[in-house]
Amino acid sequence: MELGRLAFAADGTPYSPAYDDVYHSAEGGLAQAQHVFLQGNGLPGRWRGRRAFTILETGFGFGLSFLATWRAWREDAAHCERLHFVSIEKHPFQFTDLEVLFRNFPQLENESTQLTARWPMLVPGMHRMEFEGGNVVLTLFLGDIADGLPQLQLSADAIFLDGFSPAKNPDMWAPALLRHLGRLAAPGATLATWSVAGPVRSALEGAGFAVEKAEGFGTKREMLRGHIVRAVRGDIARAKRSAIVIGAGIAGAAACERLAARGWQVTLIEKHAAAAQEASGNPAGVFHPVVSPDDSLFARFTRASFLFLLHHWKALGGVEWERCGVLQMARNAEEKASQQRALATLGYPARYAQFDEARGGIWYPEAGWVKPTTLVQGLLSRFQIATHFNREVRSLSFDGEWHATGSKGEVIASAPVVVLANATDALRLAPLPQARLRRVRGQLTLVPAIEGLGHVVLRGGMALPGIDGLSVVGASFDVDDEDEALRADSHEGNLERLEQMLPGASRGLLPEKLGGRVAFRAVVPDRLPMVGPLGNGLFGLFALGSRGLLWACLAGEIIASMLEGDPLPVERKLAAAVDPGRFALRAARRSAGSPG
């Protein structure tokens, strides 16, 4: 991904050398955004009285239209409750360049300062940023619009069709690409653009829009406005916004927090006496991205989750975590070559991932460790959530809404939506015949704080720096092993992995004398989680394996976005990759003799 270059035309207007074009009119960028995009879409009037309003923009540039829209929302006393702004940018600026560009717009200082403070690491894919207590949401796809626009899933109420001139950047205005706008438009959607080129008008009409010329801005006499003639909305917000979440581990806590953040009434049911009693009760865990030469779906979903949590966890109170860095050591020369090839091919910024030749592996400087119990409590304490502990759900029934029934046949709670976040027990309540869910035993070993270790080390296992005087080492991976007791052989295996990572660190440690913890994880064959609809308001958020700490919050955001009809925080391809119905779909394709 090529970054934007900070440059200016002779009159001081921000300029792109790559396209030989300016980012906005010389008559004023803010005034142009207000006239063309806000007024051209009937804003702020059209969002008044709405609970949520979604805007899609085809070229973020340096964010001027977003800032202008945010400022208009703040100044409108009757604004919609929640504003979503979704945009695409192929050549994003570094935040230091944004700070320079924003100096020309002092009236937007409040908004621009917050934007630069939340500006993400510039790696490809979707980035979600929340402002105004979560009521203004920016979802930014970094990459080519030809890759991004087909992967968006949303219902846009207004479209800002922006980009460099069709004469300078024709690919961005291609009819095949603009046809996606018809798919993404909500009923009643409008659009506006400064371009009045004949091919642009024809492409928009072909996408299902009626367009007309209107008075332009500055020296440009005309612009285009339009509205969708036909459109079908996909997911819509439910009239009764209440849900039951089953399972009070990290998955359930994340689902509760993301729904409650949107004003949902959430009831949490847990069979144990308190939250975080199973795998989420481990003393500490690791969060870090994954790099693969082919940038696999697994790596992409993990990257999106990692970037999401780096900002999201900051909004939670009481979470004990440290971004001390994670070193993923190569196990052999072949793996080392693969790591180097991946980093050379993908071109990540050093802040995200870099190869450490001296230590023989990938260094993730922003990764680290977290205490899972504090994360679960931080999620559950952020909003008011009704809880039922020591209550096991024996069955679910549906008669227009769901009823969770306990061991004595009593109804514990009822709601139109249920989220199953109860690991391997999920398929007991909602069988998926094609899904093979495995239960994996993992035993951690606790050793005295490893001297001189200030970061996390990975190499077929993990070793954490000292936390409260102890280092966490492990973990074993015992498929379909139901033994809940600590075992010396599992400690021995963990110490062997520790010795491979840090020679000499296991010296003098006796397996039979060490403490630890056993927990069980749920996994499916493709190693990705199960996140999404199961039918009739039933949703799954389980099979997070050993990456629950990393994946849970983004998974909760995906489910909440689906239920609200919000723009998805990930590409459609990633949402399909974690959909619980994917195994049934693959089986159907195989039986039909088709590939995939």
Q: What DSSP string describes 171-227?
A: GGG-HHHHTHHHHHEEEEEEEEES---HHHHHHHHHTTEEEEEEE-STT--EEEEEE
For residue 60, give the nearest of 131, 121, 12, 115 by alpha carbon. Answer: 115
Per-residue tokens: 105: 């717009």
- Is residue 92 within 8 A of residue 127, CB to CB? The reply is no
Is there a domain that residue 173 lies in? Answer: yes
**Strand pairing category for 242-246 and 417-420:** parallel
| DSSP designation for 272 | S
**Residue 406 and residue 353 share a domain:** no
**Residue 285 and residue 197 share a domain:** no
Per-residue tokens: 206: 């072909």
Instruction: Name 263's Cβ contacts closer than 8 Å, sequence gap at least 6.
Output: 241
What's at 432, amino acid-wise?
Answer: L
- Give the count of beta carbons closer than 10 Å to the beta carbon of residue 201: 18
- pTM (2 d.p.): 0.94
- Is residue 307 within 8 A of residue 121, CB to CB? The reply is yes
3-state secondary structure of 99: helix
**Residue 178 and residue 99 share a domain:** yes
Q: How far apart (Å, rounded) are the C-alpha atoms in residues 82 and 437?
A: 37
3-state secondary structure of 400: coil
**pLDDT score of 232:** 38
Is there a domain that residue 7 lies in? Answer: no
For residue 364, give the nearest of 287, 294, 296 by alpha carbon. Answer: 287
**Residue 501 and residue 470 share a domain:** yes
Q: How far apart (Å, rounded) are the C-alpha atoms in residues 510 and 488?
A: 9
For residue 184, give the nearest of 161, 214, 211 by alpha carbon. Answer: 161
For Cα atoms 375, 378, 384, give the angle at the middle one, nearest 5 degrees. 140
Helices 548-564 and 372-380 pack at an angle, to 10 degrees, of: 20
Per-residue tokens: 331: 């196990």
What is the longest distance spanned by two Cα atoms in the chain?
A: 82
> Which of 206, 228, 250 represents a domain boundary (last residue)?
228
- The stretches in the chain having pLDDT less than 50 are 231-237
**Residue 455 and residue 352 share a domain:** no
**Residue 122 and residue 59 share a domain:** yes
Please report, for the domain that includes residue 466, its CATH number: 3.30.9.10
Which residues form the domain of 348? 326-365
- Give the count of beta carbons closer than 10 Å to the beta carbon of residue 261: 18
For residue 287, give the nearest of 125, 503, 455 by alpha carbon. Answer: 455
DSSP bridge pairs for 372? none
Is there a domain that residue 119 lies in? Answer: yes
Could you report the per-residue pLDDT of 19-75, keeping only the tens digit for each? 988 888 878 899 999 999 999 999 999 999 999 999 999 999 999 999 999 999 999
- Is residue 225 within 8 A of residue 191, CB to CB? The reply is yes
Backbone angles phi, psi at 87, to 5 degrees: -145, 165
Please report, for the domain that includes residue 91, its CATH number: 3.40.50.150
**Residue 282 and residue 372 share a domain:** yes
**Residue 40 and residue 106 share a domain:** yes
Could you report the per-residue pLDDT of 89-129, keeping only the tens digit for each? 999 999 999 999 999 999 999 999 999 999 999 999 999 99
Domain count, the chain: 4
> Which of 207, 228, 249 represents a domain boundary (last residue)?
228
Per-residue tokens: 293: 């030469």
- Is residue 391 within 8 A of residue 217, CB to CB? The reply is no
**pLDDT score of 239:** 67
**Residue 242 and residue 215 share a domain:** no
Backbone angles phi, psi at 145, to 5 degrees: -65, -30
Exposure b/e, 170-197, CB count within 10 A at least 16 = b: eebbeeebbbbbbbbbbeebbbbbbbbe
Per-residue tokens: 336: 């080392």
| Per-residue CA distances from 190 to 43, 229, 348 (Å) | 10, 10, 37
Is there a domain that residue 8 lies in? Answer: no
Is there a domain that residue 5 lies in? Answer: no
Backbone angles phi, psi at 89, to 5 degrees: -145, 125
Backbone angles phi, psi at 213, to 5 degrees: -80, 150
**Residue 119 and residue 87 share a domain:** yes
For residue 313, give the nearest of 105, 130, 526, 448 by alpha carbon. Answer: 130
Is there a domain that residue 517 lies in? Answer: yes
Is there a domain that residue 485 lies in? Answer: yes
- Is residue 254 within 8 A of residue 376, CB to CB? The reply is no
| Per-residue CA distances from 356 to 306, 335, 361 (Å) | 20, 14, 5
Per-residue tokens: 426: 């999920």
For residue 64, give the nearest of 215, 203, 194 by alpha carbon. Answer: 194
Please give the order of strands across the beta sheet that includes 265-269. 386-388, 265-269, 242-246, 417-420, 538-542, 530-535
Q: N- to C-terminal Cα distance for the chain? A: 29
For residue 366, give the nearest of 304, 295, 287 by alpha carbon. Answer: 287
Q: How far apart (Å, rounded) are the C-alpha atoms in residues 253 and 375?
A: 9
Please report, for the domain that includes residue 259, its CATH number: 3.50.50.60
Q: How far apart (Å, rounded) are the C-alpha atoms in residues 285 and 371?
A: 6
- Give the count of beta carbons closer than 10 Å to the beta carbon of residue 409: 8
**Strand pairing category for 82-89 and 156-160:** unpaired
Q: How far apart (Å, rounded) are the C-alpha atoms in residues 124 and 327?
A: 22
**Residue 210 and residue 137 share a domain:** yes
What's at 22, amino acid-wise?
Answer: V
Is there a domain that residue 6 lies in? Answer: no
> Which of 501, 523, 545 represents a domain boundary (last residue)?
523
- Is residue 191 within 8 A of residue 214, CB to CB? The reply is no
**Residue 209 and residue 113 share a domain:** yes
Evaluate the CA torsion angle 62, 67, 69, 70 in order and state its sign.
positive
- Is residue 472 within 8 A of residue 283, CB to CB? The reply is yes
Per-residue tokens: 49: 């009285």
- Is residue 273 within 8 A of residue 246, CB to CB? The reply is no
**pLDDT score of 357:** 94
Q: H-helix or E-strand containing 312?
A: helix 297-312
